[in-house]
Amino acid sequence: MAYVIAIAGKGGTGKTSLAGLLVKLLKEKKLGSVLAVDADPNSNLAEVLGIELKETIGTILDRISRHPEMIPVGMAKDRFIEYQVQSAIQENDGFDLLTMGRPEGPGCYCYVNNVLRNLMAKLIRDYDYVIIDNEAGLEHFSRRTTRSADILLVISDATAVALRAAARISLLAKELEIKTKRKFILINRFDRQIDRIKELDLEYIGNIPLDRELAKLSIEGKSLLGLANDSISLTALRRIGDRIWRQN
């Protein structure tokens, strides 16, 4: 059974970049097979990981909806969808990537959620680690396509608006009855602890100082897997990562 790390946070806090760096560290530490799931409709995780995005679950479902005749005679629709989604998993050196894409259209909500829920349950059994890059609204979880996570890692910067968003995410996770073993908050691009964190229903795990090398790669649209191993952000994230990984 996979160890699931769900990442959430307000847009612009560096959530997807840190998701990519966690994939890099898992690959570096050789802790087992890794599936990165991009559950944010903006679908930027592939770029962060230096992968050319070829297919998303959203485009697959849209294509099947528009062309139901593509389903082979004698094959159940749910089996065909599962096969197509499995084919959309992009295999890479040290990790695989599955991109959700935009939400499906009206008329297939419950049915598709059920298919995706069953598929995600199978995938979680097939990997040692699953890292899910969510949008701030935890849309992937609100649809109940995944019911639980070992770690909920909320990314924030030092601004008041980002910290308020972190508080809302924590509350939403509770309202959605998402089962988590631990809920952490990580402050990005800041080198000191913030007193206001004590007011949040989240466990403070640490800070990632501003890393100009990481920012340069992001601005240039280059893969963060190429970030130097002794970079500021990776050095800080390694210390934090020891509290995130599965504890044997």
Distances (CA, A) of 230 to 15, 18, 24, 63, 211: 20, 16, 13, 44, 11
pLDDT for the residue 85: 85
Confidence of residue 137 (pLDDT cuts 50, 70, 90): low
Helix (H) or strand (E) holding 175: helix 160-175
Q: Please report the pLDDT score of residue 242 as a whole number.
A: 84
Domains belonging to the chain, first-starting first, are 3-53+92-102+126-244 (3.40.50.300)
Q: What is the largest CA-CA distance in the chain?
A: 62
The number of residues in the chain equals 248
The burial of 55, by beta-carbon neighbours within 10 Å (0-12 exposed, 13-18 middle, 19 or more buried), is given as middle
State residue 139's pLDDT score: 65
Mean of all residue pLDDT scores within the chain? 87
Reported as a single tens digit per residue, the pLDDT across 67-83 is: 889 999 999 888 898 88
Whether residue 110 is predicted with pLDDT greater than 90 in this model: the reply is no
pLDDT band at 183 (very low <50, low <70, confident <90, very high): very high
The tokens describing 12, both together, are: 């612009």
pLDDT, one tens digit per residue, over 215-243 is 999 999 899 999 999 999 999 999 998 88
Q: What is the pTM of this model?
A: 0.90
Q: What share of the chain is helix, strand, coil (3-state, %, to 5)?
A: 45, 20, 35
By percentage, how much of the chain surpasses pLDDT 90?
Answer: 53
